[in-house]
Amino acid sequence: MEKIQAEIGRYTTRIQSEQQDDGSWRYDFETGPMTDASMMILFNSLYPGKKELLLLLGRRLERKQAAGGEWKQYDDDDGHLSSTIEAYTALLLTGYLDRDAPPMKRAEDYILRSGGVEQAHISTKFMLALNGLYPWPVFYPVPLFLIDLPKWNPLSFYRWSSYVRSHFAPILILGHLKFTLPHPSAIDINHLYTTPKYHKLDQQIRWHRGLMKKRNDDFSRLKGKRSNQSIQKAERFILEHIEGDGTLYSYASATFFMIYALLAIGYKPDSPVIAHAIKGLISFVTQTDGGEMHIQNSPSTVWDTALACYTLQEAGFSTEDSAIQRAAAYLLSLQHKDKKEPSARTLMHITGGWGFSESNTVNPDVDDTQAVLRALTRCTHHHTGCHEAWRKGVRYVFSMQNDDGGWAAFERNSTSLMTRLFVIENFEDTAFDPSAADVTGRTLELLGNHVKLTMQHPRVQAGVHWLLKRQKKDGSWFGRWGVSYLYGTWAAVTGLRAVGLSAQHPAIQKATEWLLRVRQPDGGWGESCKSDTEKTYIAAPYSTVVHTAWALDMLIAIHETPIKEINESISLLIDWNREDNSKRVTYPTGAGLPGQFYIQYHSYPRIWPLLALSHYAQKYKSC
């Protein structure tokens, strides 16, 4: 216990020292090449004379290339074709590396061995098409008229998740117009094709130039009154959801599409709206631990601040501590006060929710809200305003429970079989937002440990019932927003235990058996991102700090006295904190889009081990 308390002290000292003056914690939200490559390509087209940022982003891309020429999403990835094409294209178009440079030749060989540009993910092909490097399809799979359908229609744009709406509002415009942004250089990537498909490009580019000329003469006559009205509706949706920092929904990926869409309908590159968006994207630049610059897709400031504030309290910090008070004040200032019904102009009820990043004002979610509420619970005893905000936050969480009993991230009752009509990769993973085991489990943990509800409460009963029905045959649960079965099982079990489900319940016993069965040979836990796409547990090549902390926290929630595996895992975390275990802390454990987008939260190796150690100290101090 003395060792554990000493370790808790080391973690808390470090986290406390990293708090910003405004009360927040600003840890990196690091992902693969997509955002850096997109920024480089766009910047090179709009501002070819400004090379400083391009050079900084290019250094990170070059350093991230694997020995075989490929770029990866995670360490045990065999290679990610789309990431490699995006990184290669950015480095080539911006002149950071020429085609004959050894790193580029290795990348070219990998791309061709993997089937060429034709085998890339649809999002990569879309980015290339926007830049005249891939032919637009004759019939775009997501037609513009979807934005005209009423919300009750199962195909309606307004039935999709907020994440998809934010990206598809500009995509509907771009796909309809088949827009191409001209580049200052005549560089192409035809050599990365394995078929003659690229021959269609010249014809499309000539057609596009003619289209632009005619559109300037008489846009409404060319496209028709109905198409113009639909484009204007999509434009209005975009403009209504631009955040204060200029970004769309506070996502870099959506903002890239927004800029292309605005250019497509006649905005000039120096338009104040586009200039503000570029400034917002630049504000997302962070310096990674390796010293390179990286464009975060959405800074995780609210999420990280809520987790850090709550975890410090679990480690023994009083609400009177200045670190907690400043964090609480920061979080309270970012509570969402109102919400617009998609495409409507009237304000709805007060939401009381919180979003993921500090610039987010239109897109609250259950996961961030429950994290903030846990951070604020103890503060409600001393602060009237905090109590009112906390109460509204709980009301928001209640209002977001799905009819099936579970909770999703952004939407309520967002499920539809109509996704299968759209032959688009990952569309079903993002278009709708069904109940998830990780979000439901953490919400139950909030309701049990902080709202002080038991399984007698109807909402809790429904959530428990949903989780028990969704447990896999092997005893695990799948986590939507983390990697993957370790994440989901930890969240489900700690939530079920918080509302009073017995440790002897068959579901808990089955989950425990599964957890011990997938333990790594070194005594820790580590799960591969491959689990996310294969939808079955796949072990990582080694244990990770974050996975081990989640597993440890789950075991502590189950056992009244520390078992052998708990003590061994504690020792591992303490040892790893004294060593240089870069792989154990840098392996991505956040999930965004299966197979395409994974996140290394730089906060996680600090926060989750501290939480597990603190729960150990709280529960077993008298053992």
Of 354, 450, 469, the C-alpha closest to 402 is: 469
Half-sphere exposure of 332 (CA within 13 A, CB side): 19
Percent of the chain with pLDDT over 90: 78
For 337-348, what is each residue's pLDDT tens digit? 865 554 444 434
| Residue 206: pLDDT over 70 | no
* Per-residue pLDDT tens over the stretch 104-119: 999 999 999 999 999 9
| Local confidence band at 455 (pLDDT 50, 70, 90 cut-offs) | very high
Nearest CA among 434, 436, 435, 446 for reference residue 395: 446
Greater model confidence, 591 or 423: 591
Whether 367 sits among the annotated catalytic residues: the reply is yes
The region of weakest confidence among 318-327, 375-384, 548-557, 568-577 is 375-384
Averaged pLDDT, 15-42? 97
State the pairing for strand pair 293-295/285-287.
antiparallel
| C-alpha closest to that of 583 among 507, 526, 535 | 526
From first CA to last CA, the distance across the chain in angstroms is: 10
Q: Is 555 helix (H, G, I), strand (E, B) or coil?
A: helix
Euclidean distance between CA atoms 352 and 400, whole angstroms: 12
Burial 401-413 (b: 16+ CB within 10 A, else e): bbebbbbbbbbee
Alpha helices in 22-140 (DSSP H): 34-46, 52-64, 81-93, 102-113, 122-130
Rounded average pLDDT over 234-259? 96
Distances (CA, A) of 498 to 448, 450, 495: 5, 9, 5
Query: What's the average model confidence in pLDDT over 185-191?
Result: 89
Mean pLDDT of 271-280: 97
Q: Strand 590-593 to strand 597-601: parallel, antiparallel, or no bridges (unpaired)?
A: antiparallel
243: pLDDT strictly greater than 70: yes
The CA distance from 371 to 306, in Å, is: 6
pLDDT at res. 473: 97
Mean pLDDT calculated for residue range 292-309: 96
pLDDT of residue 217 exceeding 80: no
Exposure on the CB side of residue 597, measured as CA atoms within 13 A: 17
pLDDT of residue 218: 44
pTM (2 decimals)? 0.93
- Where does 219-355 show beta strands of DSSP type E? 285-287, 293-295
pLDDT at 347: 37
Report residue 477's pLDDT band, with 50, 70 and 90 as the boundaries.
very high
Judge whether residue 80 has pLDDT over 60. Answer: yes
Q: Which residue has the higher pLDDT, 140 or 463?
A: 463
Distance CA 623, CA 608 (A): 23
More confident residue, 347 or 122: 122
User: Average model confidence (pLDDT) for the chain?
Assistant: 91
CA distances from 170 to 20, 235, 532 (A): 35, 8, 28
pLDDT in tens, 604-621: 999 999 999 999 999 998
Return phi, psi of residue 295, to 5°. -90, 110
Confidence of residue 553 (pLDDT cuts 50, 70, 90): very high
* DSSP H stretches of helix in 450-592: 458-470, 485-498, 506-517, 530-534, 545-558, 564-576, 582-586
Residue 601 backbone phi and psi in degrees, to 5: -80, 115
Q: Residue 216's pLDDT band (boundaries 50, 70, 90)?
A: very low
Q: How confident is the model at residue 228 (pLDDT cuts 50, 70, 90)?
A: confident
pLDDT (average), residues 465-484: 97
Give the active site residue among 365, 367, 429, 438.
Answer: 367
Is residue 334 very low, low, confident or very high in pLDDT (cuts 50, 70, 90)?
very high
The answer to whether residue 237 scores a pLDDT higher than 90 is yes
Using left for φ > 0, alpha for ψ between -120 and 50, and beta otherwise, residue 14 falls in: alpha
Amino acid at 367: D
- Measured CA to CA, the distance from residue 81 to residue 411 in angstroms comes to 32
Query: What does the block give as tokens for 412?
Result: 């309520």
Q: With bands split at pLDDT 50, 70 and 90, how would you rate the model's confidence at 205?
A: low
pLDDT at position 526, please?
98
Residue 174 has a pLDDT of: 95
